[in-house]
Structure 1
Amino acid sequence: MARSRCRTRPLRVVPCLGALALPVSWPVAAQQDTNEAAADQVHNLREVTVVAPTPLPGFTIERQAFAGNAQTATDGDLERVKAPNLSAFLAETMTGVVVNDAQGNPFAQDILYRGYRLSPTLGSAQGLSLYLDGVRQNAALGDVIHWAAIPEAALSTITLVPGSNPLYGLNTLGGALALQTKSGETHPGVEADLSVGSYGRARLDVSAGQRLGDGWHAYVAGTGWREDGWRDRSDSDLGNLFFKLGRSTSGTQWHVSVLGSNSRLTGNGLTPDSLYAADRRAIYTAPDETRSRSLQVALNGAHQFNAQDQLQLTLYLRQTRTHANSGDISNDYLDTALGCQGHAGSAECEADDAPANAVLNSATVRETSYGASMQWSHDGDTHRFALGAALDMNRSRYTQTTQQASFDDARNTVADAGAPVLTQAALDGRDSTIGLFATDTMRLLDGTFLTLAARWNQGRRHTLLSLPTQSDESFTYSRLNPSLGLTHRLLERLVVFGSASQGTRMPTAIELGCADPANACQLPTGLQADPFLRQVVTRTLEFGGRWQPADATEVTLALYRSDNRDDIVFQRSPVSPLGYFSNFPKTRNQGVEFGLRQRLGRLTLRAGYSYTQASYQAQGTLQTPFAAPVMVQPGTRLAGIPLHSFKLGADWRATAALSVGGDLLVSSSRPVAGNEDGALSAPNAQTPGLSDTGGYLLLNLRASWQFLPRWQVYGRIDNVFDRRYATYGQAGYNLFPGGALLQPGAAVPVERFVAPGAPRLFLVGVRYEWDGR
């Protein structure tokens, strides 16, 4: 049960007289008669909604002045939905957000918003940024996200900022996700949540906050999670711990936070259709395990000089170590199988003379990141502006080794006794990024606001590659990204807005180290010399409105178009699973977002629809493992992104203690990677098509009972109808038709490999909550 608290939130502020830390008088004061009596002003106080236009906490503007379709959620929403983790919560509640489960693990999913990706997979094109208390969480080497390191038990607010907002820095092509954590000042008391579910899933969240007197406050939160997994050989576990200590005085607030995490995640990836049809739990090859450890220390401070001027400061240090093991088909064996098709019995295609069929790949990444951000903000009657600077420094060390192996009857990779462990790639990368930014929101007329903003970024990438070739190269990227936004209150409860913005993404060390067509690599397990790649530049136009015809009703609508110049794509080699990165002249993401919230007494309804058309906008070719490349034309859709997505949620408070609810999730089909042009066809009528993954409909249900003032029991069922569905597909050669290794000389079938969605899952839990105010 969500507690009613009078506290500041990044997107929503519920005013409590005398308790607000943020000024909310502008521009509300312009709408009030200055001659009203003080008592009348108190009675006329209304809820004021604000938006954080920059990642650093403390600077806000009123929502009616924000030119975009920002979405928000609070810790109360997280508690109500009872989603198994943050990515599932975003997929259920945020319009335009869908999940790609290509890794097959609930804590290793890709989040896609407006067709842009936020992924834990090294080598994935990252088009979204993520901030935790003003600290950028995109990792140094590949801009990836470690979901296991996010302190979900400590989250207070979640804000999804749309578009190519330059103030949120690099990778903000489609949007930014800003997370804020709790503190002992805002969340005193104790919370404990224990749940168990299907396939050995268990989770414990515990947190405690305390006001210590004289402005001091402390907060601690921890999460432990494990599961056997619904697929074969897919057990995983993780834990993280978050601690925050701070002090608030009349003019100064500061806190220090420490965040540590440790995880072991199994991600069994894609499965060919023939194996999936025979056994829903089947995996292709094993093992596929990633172990990660991270530690982050951050300092956030703010000083109020006067009623209008404030200075914010953020410092951080983060260290991460990741080690991944994967068993894969040997490139030499695949090349032999392809070359021997139709030549069974020939001398060069004898099974005894075939090369080793498997290889055990290991990759280790060590990263150290540190940086500082500073922002001065001014809250005036006509102007609300901020000036700031950010510096991020990173060092990344990457090592990849390989060992000859073979597959057993269960497709487990077993290292060959005596086979040497060979180092295939070794990289030492250093990069630094400087950002200078400014924004000003001006009140032109009563209800009309103009926002001008810009950020200049300069990044330097220095890579020392010792294996497989020797190279020492540096690249420098710089760009000034502007934005302009206009909002106007057309009617008393109708606000319309429009904006134009530009964002950039610099190539990562992984992309730069795998950009030579003559020296293809296998990601994330190989690197070469560093050919130049241009940075991605995205320009976004967005128009929309917010309409609140009554206090219980809110309707939002947004139309957007984002053009990506020099987009970076992965070209797969025609003779093996190797490949390389290259720039593609132009791609486009455009669409519509529609949201509705309605309260009907004890019933709350939420609906969201998104139309996302992500397509190539130039003629070109995409290399694939097959003989013929994919031929793309303007309008050819990008793989893995559904055209339509619909969400319908309902919560009914049956009694003061009993609540029931559910969410309906609908997704249209998604194009299959490697067959974007539809040139490949299924080899026979019994084989599913190779063009898309097919759409799906899922129903999730939940219920909770507050049987004592501090105690609650709850339950949740995901995928109630136990639908079979897939969130991603890729065309490829299947060397295990029927589950047995294909021998040289036989035809190598082409199949659709899919990321299977989870079956019906049950979850029950008990929650204790004590408000320590």
Structure 2
Amino acid sequence: SEVVRAYADLGYRVPGSEVHLVLSGAADQLGVVGPTPIELTRLDERSIYTWPQTTRNRAGTIVLNGKFEVAPTWKLQGNLYVRRFAQTHVDGNAGDFEACSAQSSFGGQLCLQDDAFGTPPGGKTRAFRDQFVILGPKGATVPFLPGTPYGTIDQTRTGATTVGASLQGTNTDRLLGLSNSLTLGASIDHSDISFSSGSTLGFIYPDLFVGTNPAVPGTGIGPIRTLGNLGFAPVDLSAANTYFGLYGTDTVDLSDRLSFSFGGRLNLARVEAQDASGTAPELNGIHDFIRFNPFAGPAFRLTPDVSVYAGYSESNRVPTPLELSCSDRTHPCLLANALVADPPLKQVVSHTYETGLRGEREIAPGMRFDGKIGLYRTDSEDDIIALASAIQGRGFYANVPDTRRQGIDAAGRFRSGPWLLYANYAFVDATFRFTELLPSPNNPAADVNGNVLVHPGDRLPLVPRHQFKAGVDYAVTPRWEVSSEIVALSSQFFDGDQSNQNAPLPAYWVANVHTSYQVTEQIQLFADIRNLLNKRYATYGTFFEPSAVANAVPVPFSDPRTSTLAQPLSIYAGIRVTW
């Protein structure tokens, strides 16, 4: 991997006012290691499943922000910004190809497997089978060679330019003789997005590299598509998002010990998509969303050091252009990037209830403790989740009726002279709240149609119930600091195991160490040791079709589980220079 970052902040301050111009930029190129079959990593933890897998990102931001005291009880703050982001991604994948049926018009040519698309009411007619023939850029078919390990090299390109502004005013005039803090604000954000994707036919070599093979006709041609634009279809699309927000909050002190906060935010959004190729007008669409989200809650000071609070709030999340344009099971996308024409998704609406305690206390001169503990429940309607397709490397998004996330958050910090000790714990009970069949075609517990039955109380995949982090920082001298931390997570279900019928990813814990030395005000030396004890564990897991590369490897896979292993013991050292 290669990473380059730059940051600059130019500020001007006078009594009551402050303005900053902030510029930042970043560029990176990553050789990504995706989920790898467990059978491969058992033999060699450095194994990569179907490569190349590379991502290149470029980003830059310019922000102008300011704070102004316009009157003794009025303060204004605002910002203007422009952000540019560009990404290119190349991903080698196994191909779900077969010989076209003799009952089609293209017998003996290369076709996409049609098993994932079911049987239409009229049966698998010639017209239905013809949809799956693979075509090159000029519409030519590709001859099928039996026993050939076909794959694809999938590429996506994304560019986004975002501009936005916000303005917020705060007033502290008394209300009916009571201390009061009123905040009013507005924001606008607009993004113009360009996106293209396509797939090149490839050959999977024994080392699982996907590339061109001169001996195999058709490899190297692209972008490929199917006659019916099912599964494979090049995309060239422009999209635009516009978000408006109006909000207000007020906190009034009803007494020396009791305060009450309330307010709300009005969100308006428009998401537009426009086919840029001129050949796919079905991609065109305009989606509008509107939602008012209220909140309210009291806070009561039990003692001078401890307060109890409670609250209710609502929030919404508008579907992204990707989610809106990739929500059809029969038109899966190159997740997480490709776009096709699909039914619109609903916005996600969440209701949160919370209560807890927080406080701080000086235990002795130079010794201070602060902490908090809270209970919460968030019920989400029409939650959006990513679901797998039977076509390798592809998936789609869908609304599900209800999900719930509830739990406990606790945190504490202790300071004494050069020492800082801290600990954080979270219990997260994240569950589905409905009964429904969801597609998970590579899940070994799936039925004959590739579905799993989800029941209320089944846990959301990839959400560990227990998360713990603790650490200690020590200032050896005013210039030299050392710190260490331990992070622990409990088990979590594989992505695609919504019904919780398979063994989860094991729990793990990891230790890290950091040190830094401030040579001058502008120059800092630092060193990091990640995974100090070289623990071997996986941070992600999902399923794949073991037979997808059966023709490419000497011993076919039999275990459908894949995982992404965490980085081993790693040591970093460097110098930071600011000016």
TM-score category (smaller protein): 0.7 to 0.9
Change over 3 Å in CA distance of 1:678–1:249 after alignment to 2:
closer
Equivalent position of 1:753 in the other structure: 562
Equivalent position of 2:131 in the other structure: none
CA distance in 2, matches of 1:736, 1:332: 9
Question: Could you list the per-position Cα deviations for residues 544-580 of structure 1 after superposition, in whole angstroms to 9, with x for gaps in the alignment?
Answer: 1113243511221011111110001223234655432
CA distance in 2, matches of 1:763, 1:700: 12
Question: Any residues of structure 2 matched to 1:60-139 within 5 Å, and which?
Answer: none
Equivalent position of 1:632 in the other structure: 454
Question: Could you list the per-position Cα deviations for residues 605-638 of structure 1 after superposition, in whole angstroms to 9, with x for gaps in the alignment?
Answer: 2111110111101111220124441211111011
Question: Could you list the per-position Cα deviations for residues 7-42 of structure 1 after superposition, in whole angstroms to 9, with x for gaps in the alignment?
Answer: xxxxxxxxxxxxxxxxxxxxxxxxxxxxxxxxxxxx
Question: Any residues of structure 2 matched to 1:637-652 within 5 Å, and which?
Answer: 637-652=459-474
Name whichever structure is richer in strand by fraction. Answer: 2
Equivalent position of 1:483 in the other structure: 295
Counterpart among 603, 607, 627 of residue 423 in structure 2:
607
Tell me the SS of whatever aligns to 1:277: helix
Change over 3 Å in CA distance of 1:260–1:443 after alignment to 2:
same
Equivalent position of 1:470 in the other structure: 281
Name whichever structure is richer in helix by fraction. Answer: 1
Equivalent position of 1:437 in the other structure: 247
Equivalent residue letter for 1:646:
F
Deviates more, 1:609-618 or 1:411-420: 411-420
Deviates more, 1:717-726 or 1:702-711: 702-711
Counterpart among 64, 71, 75 of residue 310 in structure 1:
75
Equivalent residue letter for 2:386:
F
Deviates more, 1:547-556 or 1:507-516: 547-556
Tell me the SS of whatever aligns to 1:275: helix
Counterpart among 300, 306, 311 of residue 65 in structure 2:
300
CA distance in 1, matches of 2:480, 2:67: 42
CA distance in 1, matches of 2:487, 2:58: 34
Question: Could you list the per-position Cα deviations for residues 201-222 of structure 1 after superposition, in whole angstroms to 9, with x for gaps in the alignment?
Answer: xxxxxxxxxxxxxxxxxxxxxx
Question: Any residues of structure 2 matched to 1:696-711 within 5 Å, and which?
Answer: 696-703=508-515
Tell me the SS of whatever aligns to 1:528: coil
Equivalent residue letter for 1:619:
T
Q: Which has the larger radius of gyration?
A: 2
CA distance in 2, matches of 1:614, 1:729: 18
Change over 3 Å in CA distance of 1:704–1:496 after alignment to 2:
same
Change over 3 Å in CA distance of 1:313–1:713 after alignment to 2:
closer
Equivalent position of 2:311 in the other structure: 499
Q: Does 2:202 align with 1:410?
A: no
Equivalent residue letter for 1:272:
P
CA distance in 2, matches of 1:643, 1:376: 40
Counterpart among 558, 571, 575 of residue 762 in structure 1:
571
Question: Any residues of structure 2 matched to 1:120-519 within 5 Å, and which?
Answer: 236-332=1-97, 352-354=145-147, 357-381=150-174, 382-415=179-212, 419-422=220-223, 424-465=234-275, 469-471=280-282, 472-519=284-331
Tell me the SS of whatever aligns to 1:510: helix
CA distance in 2, matches of 1:577, 1:287: 13
Q: Does 2:405 align with 1:589?
A: yes
**Cα shift at 1:420:** 3.0
Alignment RMSD, CA only?
Answer: 2.9
**Cα shift at 1:639:** 0.7
Question: Could you list the per-position Cα deviations for residues 153-192 of structure 1 after superposition, in whole angstroms to 9, with x for gaps in the alignment?
Answer: xxxxxxxxxxxxxxxxxxxxxxxxxxxxxxxxxxxxxxxx
Contact 1:465-1:529 within 8 A present in 2 as well: no
Contact 2:38-2:559 within 8 A present in 1 as well: no
CA distance in 1, matches of 2:353, 2:193: 35
Deviates more, 1:511-520 or 1:479-488: 511-520
**Cα shift at 1:264:** 1.4
Q: Does 2:539 align with 1:730?
A: no
CA distance in 1, matches of 2:242, 2:477: 56
Equivalent residue letter for 1:605:
L
Equivalent residue letter for 1:762:
I
CA distance in 2, matches of 1:302, 1:479: 29
Q: Which has the higher contact order (CA 8 A, sep 6+)?
A: 1
Equivalent position of 2:369 in the other structure: 553
Change over 3 Å in CA distance of 1:298–1:598 after alignment to 2:
closer
Deviates more, 1:709-718 or 1:256-265: 709-718
CA distance in 1, matches of 2:477, 2:17: 44
Tell me the SS of whatever aligns to 1:353: coil
**Cα shift at 1:710:** 8.6
Tell me the SS of whatever aligns to 2:97: helix
Contact 1:360-1:415 within 8 A present in 2 as well: no
Tell me the SS of whatever aligns to 1:491: coil
Change over 3 Å in CA distance of 1:632–1:768 after alignment to 2:
same
CA distance in 1, matches of 2:577, 2:56: 31
**What is the aligned residue count?**
512
Question: Could you list the per-position Cα deviations for residues 42-84 of structure 1 after superposition, in whole angstroms to 9, with x for gaps in the alignment?
Answer: xxxxxxxxxxxxxxxxxxxxxxxxxxxxxxxxxxxxxxxxxxx
Tell me the SS of whatever aligns to 1:584: strand
Change over 3 Å in CA distance of 1:385–1:267 after alignment to 2:
same
Question: Any residues of structure 2 matched to 1:632-711 within 5 Å, and which?
Answer: 632-653=454-475, 659-679=481-501, 690-703=502-515
**Cα shift at 1:443:** 1.1
**Cα shift at 1:253:** 2.5
**Cα shift at 1:660:** 3.9
Change over 3 Å in CA distance of 1:489–1:678 after alignment to 2:
closer
**Cα shift at 1:362:** 1.0
CA distance in 2, matches of 1:247, 1:657: 28
CA distance in 2, matches of 1:540, 1:605: 31
CA distance in 2, matches of 1:672, 1:239: 33
Contact 1:285-1:413 within 8 A present in 2 as well: yes
Equivalent position of 2:121 in the other structure: none
Change over 3 Å in CA distance of 1:658–1:263 after alignment to 2:
closer
Tell me the SS of whatever aligns to 1:524: coil
CA distance in 2, matches of 1:710, 1:515: 50
CA distance in 2, matches of 1:384, 1:619: 46
CA distance in 2, matches of 1:362, 1:405: 13
Change over 3 Å in CA distance of 1:306–1:705 after alignment to 2:
closer
TM-score (norm 1): 0.62
Contact 1:316-1:370 within 8 A present in 2 as well: yes
CA distance in 1, matches of 2:403, 2:383: 7
Equivalent residue letter for 1:533:
L
Equivalent position of 2:107 in the other structure: none
Equivalent position of 1:143 in the other structure: none
Contact 1:736-1:742 within 8 A present in 2 as well: no
Runs of 5+ in structure 2 lacking a partner? 99-110, 117-142, 224-232, 443-447
Contact 1:473-1:530 within 8 A present in 2 as well: no
CA distance in 2, matches of 1:403, 1:416: 12
CA distance in 2, matches of 1:299, 1:645: 37
